[in-house]
Structure formats: C-alpha cells, structure tokens
Amino acid sequence: MMIARRTRERILLACLAWLASISGAMGETPSAYDAPAPTPRATVQQPAVDLNQGAASAASHTESLAGRSKTIGAMPVASERVSRAGAQPLPIDGKWQNVVTTFEPDCGPGDTRDFSPTAGMTGDLHEELTGVNDRWWAEVDYLRWRARGYDVPALVTQSPVGTAPAVAGRLPGAEILFGDGSLAGDWRDGGRARLGWWAVDGQFVGYQAEYFGLNGQEANFTASSTAAGPLLARPFFNTAVGAEDASLISGPALTIDLGQGPFTYDVDGTINVSASSDIHSFALTRRHVLWTDFERNIRTDWLLGYRYFRLDEGINITDVVTLNNPSGGLVAPGTLIRRVDEFDATNDFHGGEVGLSGEIHRGRWSLNMLGKLGIGNTEQSVNVRGNTAVNPGGVLGFVESPGLGGFLAQPGLNIGSQVRNAFTLMPEAEMAVAFQVNDYISLKLGANAVYVNRVARPGNQIDRNLNPTFFPPANNPTGDPAPASKFDQTYLLLYGFNAGVEVRW
C-alpha cells in the first residue's frame, strides 16, 4: 500500500520523538522531551527547552499536515492524533512554555491501535473500514414490489336474458366480464438475500452474491351460465365480414355445426381464465473502493458483475359447453365440448453490470445509494397452443380432436413456438436508510426500481382478429387468414420497498 510522502514524514517524526524520549530517559542522547518514554494516550508535562531551527521547522510542518484529510486516492491510511491540552502559547525566546502533548504514533504494521479522531463512534465510516470483524456480511430483505402488468383484450362478455343470439356477446353493446385491461400488475411479496466477502483488509475489494425473487402471481376468473340464464360469449373481430362478432358459450336454441350439419342445442357453459407470472434474478458483483473521505464520512465504490434475470408468464383460456336437447344428429344429450387456448412467454436475460454505490454516515445512521446498468441479451420464447376435445354424453372422458385448435389459437395460423434474441438494457436503482444497532447488526429500510426495456409478454401475443372460415374443418376459406402469429415485445418495470437486516462478522 503506497502512502504519501508527507504522511510518511509525519509518522517518522512521531516515531523519532518517541525514540528520542526513550534515549533521554536512558541517559544516552539529550532529548527535547526530558521525561520517561510515553505510554499510549499518556499526558507528559515538558519543561521549557531550547528548540533548534530544524526541530521547529519539522514541528511546523507536522502541524500543517494535521488539518489535512486522511484520504489518499481511494485508500485510507494509518492515522496519528496529535492534540494539545488548553491554549498553546506563542514561543518566547525560542522556547515553548507549558506545553502538554498527547501523542500516539503508529510505528508499523504490528501497531493495531486506532488513533483516528472518530474512533469509537459506532456506525461511523472509519470504524466500519477498520473494524476487526468486517470480512463477511449478509443481508436478508423482505420485498414489497409491484410489476407493470401486460394488456389483454376483452376475453369474456355477457348479454342479458332475451338478447337475440345474432347480437349477444358482441362489443360494444355487451358487458365485459374479463379482459380489456391488464394482468400481473398487482403488488407482490418477495425476498432478497445478499452474501459478501471482503478480500482485502480495510474493505478495498469485495465480492457479493445476490438473489431476489417475487412470489408467483396468479389471476383466476370463472363464469358459468345455463341456457336459461344470461348469455356468455367470447368476443372477437370477424375479419371475414369486417365486424364485431362473438362465439356464444351459453344460451337457448343455439345453432352449432359439429361436422354433421348445423343443429340446435340448449347450451350450458363455463369459462375459466388463469394467468401466472414469476420473476427471479441472480447476480455476482465485484466491489472496489473508488473514493473515501473520513472527515465527511462518505464512501463510494464502483461495481462490476454479472446478472441473470428471468420473467416467465402465461395465460390460459378454457371454455366448456354442455349440449342439451339436441334437435337432431348423433350427439348424445349431455355431450361436453372443451376448447383450450394457451399463450406462454419466457424471457431469460444474461448480461454484465456496471455501477456505483455510495454511503453517507452520520453517527449510527447512514444513507446507502446504488445505481447499476445491466447490458446483455434476452432470449425471448413465445409458445401458443390450442386444442378442442369432446366428451360424448359427458361420461366417457375427453378425447382430443386431431387437427382442431382452440378458439384464439388455430393450427397453421398462430399455433407454434418462436424464439429470438434481443439486445437489452436493465438499469437498477436502490436507496436505503440504515441504523447501526451495534458493531455487527444494522437495520435497513429502502426503495427499489428495476427496468427491463425489452421483454415478450403473453397478452401481447393474443390476436382477437379471427377469420372463422379458416377454422378446421375449413372447406371454402375466404379473406385473409387470421389469427396472425405475433411476436410483440414491450417493457417491464419493477418498483417497491424493502426492509431487512444486515449482519457483519
């Protein structure tokens, strides 16, 4: 560790004065301090003695250094405290009158005493950097965060009893029961753990591992109706006719074509929508002191590391209809038909991080700030699945119909998997207030924000533009095929609060 020339001179002068006092006590060389060798923090009364010009110059030089900051570049140095009791008179005839000096030199690496002006103040920066038990630290936080949700179109509508089937469930006249808003945007509970180790005494270089995760958020919606009740429907825009339309899943005397020609049924229906969202992240970070000021109790570190972040979300839409009172055909009363649409989106970010962290100490209190920027690649994966299954008579179990999709997911149109890589920026900010309970434990309360500029989310992959003439079994499709295969992306914002405890040992 390199120490500035003036600081070395200062330490050398203090050591020489101490050795001179010892020599004087042994009767070898006359000393400016005609007293026994001082002990740490001892007060010595000195008689008036002549001071030669060189000694006076050295004392003046030492005094000029006493007021300087104890910061050399980015590295705190061993310090010495020189204080004088009471007022110090001016020299008279080249002599000092009634000088009482307390001095405590640091004479080598074996001297571990702390002579800094702020020594012994629990929570101050000097104590934090020079404490004996400061190699390891661990932090556990409770998180209360919120994520920006993703948009979904209107998925379920309802019309009152007596509405003509030709217009029931269609927008804008029908009541929207679910959709036309956002999902996965509620507050979530979570946790964060950090474990760090200082590789160098004085906390110059350290390494930290971090993990945070939020509880998986789920949203569920269910609606049911009989043929005699309100008419449930799944709304869409019919591109074949260029107008709003709806697929009814409950109502009286509804016309349905199951491949045997159109027949009418009294239909009871149920629809369920479920959505999930999971967020996890892991990081490895190297910390290196950038600047430290003991007088102002301020420290700044630069950070360099690796970040992994995962966002895994999905939405499932399932409707089941029961066909009663068939008007003809071979369909047994009570036959069930189930349609399933699934939209899943997964984002895996891998990248490097660079940033700064800062600490401002005021006694036991401190303000901690952190800012980082992650730069890397996100692998975005979108999977769309759909199927239709039939349970004849409602007693034989569901049998999937080959080649049939669901409703919003259709084979040959948007069903399938897509993967792409996107250059991504991931900035992060944190601010926390900490209270030092004792030498080992501190309590923290803070706020956080994480932003990811490119992610794929399931709601953005739903196309509500449908062309029923392309639905299997399609005989004479007309117009443009729809739904289209989408691979849209948006951004993610996480923000919230944290409360936790840090332990150092």
Query: 71-130: per-residue pLDDT in tens?
Result: 333 344 333 333 333 444 434 343 333 333 333 444 444 444 444 444 444 556 656 665
Q: What pLDDT, on a 0 to 100 scale, did the predictor assign at position 201? A: 78
* Residue found under tokens 């299997």: 472
Three-state DSSP at 250 gives coil
Regarding whether 142 and 51 lie in a shared domain, the answer is: no
**64 lies in a domain?**
yes
Q: Could you please report the per-residue DSSP string of 211-234?
A: EEEEEEEEEEEEEEE-TTS-EEEE
Token code pair at residue 455 = 């992610």
CA-CA-CA-CA torsion for 484, 485, 486, 487, nearest 10 degrees? -170
CATH number at residue 194: 2.40.128.90
The Cα 244–Cα 171 span in angstroms is 6
| Domains identified in the chain, total number | 2
The Cα 339–Cα 408 span in angstroms is 10
Regarding whether 140 and 111 lie in a shared domain, the answer is: no
- Measured CA distances, 234 to 159, 183, 231 (Å): 11, 18, 10
Tell me the per-residue pLDDT of 365-403, one tens digit each, with 9 for 90 and over: 999 999 999 999 999 999 999 999 999 988 889 999 888
The Cα 14–Cα 8 span in angstroms is 10
- Measured CA distances, 168 to 172, 175, 239, 323 (Å): 11, 10, 18, 18
The sign of the torsion formed by the CA atoms of 63, 67, 73, 76 equals: positive
Regarding whether 217 and 360 lie in a shared domain, the answer is: yes
The Cα 284–Cα 207 span in angstroms is 7
Max Cα distance, the chain (Å): 129
| Cβ-based neighbours of 232, under 8 Å, separated by 6 or more | 156, 157, 158, 169, 177, 223, 224, 225, 248, 249, 250, 251, 269, 271
Beta strands 465-466 and 231-238, pairing class: parallel
The Cα 31–Cα 17 span in angstroms is 8
Which has more pLDDT, 309 or 34? 309
| Cβ-based neighbours of 287, under 8 Å, separated by 6 or more | 196, 205, 206, 207, 208, 301, 302, 303, 357
The Cα 75–Cα 486 span in angstroms is 55
Question: Is pLDDT above 80 for 253?
Answer: yes
Residue 378: which domain range? 136-504
Q: Could you please report the per-residue DSSP string of 363-383?
A: TTEEEEEEEEEEEEEEEEEEE
Rg (CA), the chain: 38
Regarding whether 420 and 384 lie in a shared domain, the answer is: yes
Token code pair at residue 492 = 């993610």
Q: What pLDDT, on a 0 to 100 scale, did the predictor assign at position 200? A: 84
**124 lies in a domain?**
no
The Cα 448–Cα 451 span in angstroms is 10
Regarding whether 107 and 140 lie in a shared domain, the answer is: no
Regarding whether 439 and 390 lie in a shared domain, the answer is: yes
Q: What pLDDT, on a 0 to 100 scale, did the predictor assign at position 439? A: 87
Say which DSSP state 20 is in. H
Regarding whether 155 and 27 lie in a shared domain, the answer is: no
**266 lies in a domain?**
yes
Q: What pLDDT, on a 0 to 100 scale, did the predictor assign at position 124? A: 60
Determine the distance from the C-alpha atom of residue 418 to the mean position of all C-alpha atoms in its chain, rounded to a whole number: 27
| Cβ-based neighbours of 278, under 8 Å, separated by 6 or more | 214, 216, 217, 310, 311, 312, 313
Query: What does the mean pLDDT of the chain come to?
Result: 81
Tell me the per-residue pLDDT of 419-441, one tens digit each, with 9 for 90 and over: 999 999 999 999 999 999 998 99
Regarding whether 269 and 203 lie in a shared domain, the answer is: yes
Which has more pLDDT, 47 or 128? 128
Asked whether the beta carbons of 370 and 445 are under 8 A apart, the reply is no
Say which DSSP state 411 is in. T
Regarding whether 58 and 10 lie in a shared domain, the answer is: yes
Q: What pLDDT, on a 0 to 100 scale, did the predictor assign at position 125? A: 62
Helix or strand (DSSP H, E) at 156: strand 156-159
Regarding whether 165 and 73 lie in a shared domain, the answer is: no
**131 lies in a domain?**
no
pTM of the model: 0.74
**191 lies in a domain?**
yes
**459 lies in a domain?**
yes
Asked whether the beta carbons of 465 and 407 are under 8 A apart, the reply is no
